[in-house]
Amino acid sequence: LDDTLSVLENWDLIVVSNRQPYRHTFDDNDEIAVDRPAGGLTAGLDPVVQQTDGTWVAWGDGDADREATDDANSVRVPPEDPAYTLKRVWLSESDVADYYYGFSNRVLWPLSHSLENKVTFEDRHWERYREVNQQFADSVVDSVATDDGSVGTETDDSNSLVWFQDYHFGLAPQFVREEVGDEALLSHFWHIPWPEREVFRDCPHQTELLRGLLANDLLGFHIPDYCANFLDCVATILPEAAVDWESWTVEREGHECRVRSFPMGVDTERIAEYAAAPDEGFWAEFRAEYGIPEDQAVAVGIDRLDYTKGIPERLAAIEHLLETEPNWLGEFTYVQKATPSRTEIPEYRELGRQVDRDIERINERFGTDDWQPIIEIEDYLTEEALYGLCRHSDLAIVSPLADGMNLVAMEYVSAQIDHTGVLLLSDRAGADDLLGDAAVTIDPTDTETFASRLDLALSMPDEERQRRMRALRSVVATTNIQSWMADVFDATLALEQQVDTTETD
Ligand code: G6P
């Protein structure tokens, strides 16, 4: 990443994401305080944007954010040592309802995960998605530096590289392109799956979305399958676009968009440090606090409470195992850490109720005075506690029905510094492409086989556990968040010649 960063320093980097890297809040004394990025992409990207003194455009949320922000909607971050500009886009309540909860999360999210029965479409969702994409695009255009200052308000000699994150911005690239022409490189990473053409064809406004995304110079997905699905959609839905299947390039109205896969990873070293940080008594105390009996195998599941994550399917497999293999009764505990998410959406609330009901039923059915088969952790866990839990759990169960990549699988492996755990992984997660050989793979909807794989994983001899975990760890060490960013930036910068650099040359 360091080499890439030194090249990037000559560019104006503009990152666009729905969630912001720093969020202002009011503390108990009504003073402004700041929440920092907790992990994942935001934490990984933040140092890059700091080092390049770039700009980050994101949804500003709440009174404290407003108070901390100047008239140009900007605030310098991080607060203690300002290194870049965070530009906030303000969304009204109805923007949030229709753009975020509506089109993004009730249409694009379920559709991209091929869960069509969860799609709810209303015209106003789309209209607001369009308007909010325009708002974000306006903010980007304002920041694009040009040779003569003709576009945007900034004027310096470097070129701009805009990096859009995710499905919230299907239209913004086109809106930006219409204003800046070739003055900026536009790159986009779609963090969730791209569905097969039969599914995407159900998408209202499919042509606008494809055209919006094709305005990018580079469009990235986690795995080749999603790229192929996207190209297939373009080839069959957009008559004016030409797909080159050799180079995965789409030509449309004189503009070329490359489509490529970049499997994302996690910050392996940082996670390993957190996992190693707690003192020796940590695990015994953790078990005591949550009522996990000593000397029992522990399986863990860590998820956002989302219907794509396959939590009810996982609970059904655990129930089936306890039913059919009673030797496991009182021998292992499953710890579920589920973080509530998008609770304004009825399907998410219903999932929460279903998970609670399932856990209650299984515990009532099989639990004893001193053992509950399932323990649900609702408390906030620090990173040390979370990765400590991963380090000490004998098994992680990652069972999504569909998932762009699934970084929890990689976090678990990164925290496994003693090489003693087993990863049970859905063959429908993007991560299966990388980790499927050394993980124990499952089809989350096939309860019987899922249960027998659980049995196999729990009984696996130490030697085999270690062999598999070492193989998994060598993959996550090389496919990490830093190498992912470097790959995306390198591939984007390799398209530099497409940008009009004549004047600066
Ligand atoms: C997924 C998406 C992200 C999103 C995250 C959390 O990982 O790809 O873009 O930020 O879920 O969801 P939320 O809706 O709370 O931002």
pTM (two decimals):
0.96
Q: Is 160 helix (H, G, I), strand (E, B) or coil?
A: strand
ipTM of the complex: 0.99
Distance of CA 217 to the CA centre of its chain: 22
- Letter for the amino acid at 280? E
Contact assessment for residue 58 and residue 20, using Cβ atoms and an 8 Å cutoff: yes
Ligand 1 site, CB within 6 A: 19, 166, 191-192, 341-342
When pLDDT is averaged across residues 297-305 and rounded to a whole number, the result is 97
The per-residue pLDDT for 502 is: 42
How many whole angstroms separate alpha carbon 488 and alpha carbon 207? 26
The helices-and-strands tally (H runs, E runs) of the chain is: 20, 18
pLDDT digits (tens, 9 = 90+) for 242-259: 999 999 999 999 999 999
Looking at 367-495, list the stretches that DSSP marks H as alpha helix, in order from N- to C-terminal side: 383-392, 407-415, 432-435, 447-458, 462-478, 481-493
Band (pLDDT 50/70/90 cuts) for residue 266 is very high
Q: Is the pLDDT of residue 297 over 80?
A: yes
Task: Take atom 16 of ligand 1 and give the residue whose Cα is closest.
Answer: 19
The per-residue pLDDT for 40 is: 80
Tally the C-alpha atoms within 13 A of residue 194's C-alpha that lie toward its C-beta.
28
How many whole angstroms separate alpha carbon 305 and alpha carbon 41? 19
Compute the distance from residue 104 Cα to the ligand 1 centre, in Å: 10
Looking at 53-171, list the stretches that DSSP marks H as alpha helix, in order from N- to C-terminal side: 63-68, 93-95, 109-112, 123-143
How many whole angstroms separate alpha carbon 253 and alpha carbon 429? 35
The per-residue pLDDT for 501 is: 45
Task: Take atom 7 of ligand 1 and give the residue whose Cα is closest.
Answer: 191
How many whole angstroms separate alpha carbon 42 and alpha carbon 411? 15
The per-residue pLDDT for 504 is: 41
How many whole angstroms separate alpha carbon 173 and alpha carbon 163? 9
Average pLDDT over the chain, rounded to an integer = 94
When pLDDT is averaged across residues 204-226 and rounded to a whole number, the result is 98
Q: Pairing mode, if any, of strands 32-35 and 23-26? A: antiparallel
pLDDT digits (tens, 9 = 90+) for 402-441: 999 999 999 999 999 999 999 999 999 999 999 999 999 9
- Letter for the amino acid at 40? G
Atom of ligand 1 nearest to the CA of 404: 8
When pLDDT is averaged across residues 131-142 and rounded to a whole number, the result is 97
Q: Is the pLDDT of residue 475 over 80?
A: yes
The per-residue pLDDT for 157 is: 59
The per-residue pLDDT for 37 is: 74
> If you search the block for the tokens 């100047």, which residue do you land on?
70
Percent of the chain with pLDDT over 70: 95
When pLDDT is averaged across residues 454-468 and rounded to a whole number, the result is 98
Compute the distance from residue 479 Cα to the ligand 1 centre, in Å: 21
The per-residue pLDDT for 187 is: 98
How many whole angstroms separate alpha carbon 466 and alpha carbon 480? 21
Ligand 1 pocket mutation pick from 17, 18, 339 by most atoms within 8 angstroms of CB = 18
**DSSP E strand boundaries for 66-183:** 74-77, 84-90, 159-165
How many whole angstroms separate alpha carbon 262 and alpha carbon 120? 30
Of the ranges 276-290, 343-357, 381-395, 486-500, which one carries the lowest mean pLDDT score? 486-500
Contact assessment for residue 442 and residue 425, using Cβ atoms and an 8 Å cutoff: yes
Ligand 1 pocket mutation pick from 59, 96, 191 by most atoms within 8 angstroms of CB = 191
Q: Is the pLDDT of residue 153 over 60?
A: no
Any idea of the CA torsion for 203, 192, 438, 282, to the nearest 10 degrees? Answer: -140
Task: Take atom 12 of ligand 1 and give the residue whose Cα is closest.
Answer: 341
Residue 17 backbone dihedrals phi, psi, to 5 degrees: -145, 160
pLDDT digits (tens, 9 = 90+) for 348-367: 999 999 999 999 999 999 99
How many whole angstroms separate alpha carbon 81 and alpha carbon 46? 13
The per-residue pLDDT for 148 is: 56
Band (pLDDT 50/70/90 cuts) for residue 457 is very high
The per-residue pLDDT for 498 is: 55
Atom of ligand 1 nearest to the CA of 167: 9
How many whole angstroms separate alpha carbon 169 and alpha carbon 139? 13
Atom of ligand 1 nearest to the CA of 166: 9
Atom of ligand 1 nearest to the CA of 165: 9
Query: ∠ at Cα 307 (95, 313), nearest 5°?
Result: 175
pLDDT digits (tens, 9 = 90+) for 226-239: 999 999 999 999 99
When pLDDT is averaged across residues 286-294 and rounded to a whole number, the result is 95
Compute the distance from residue 304 Cα to the ligand 1 centre, in Å: 9
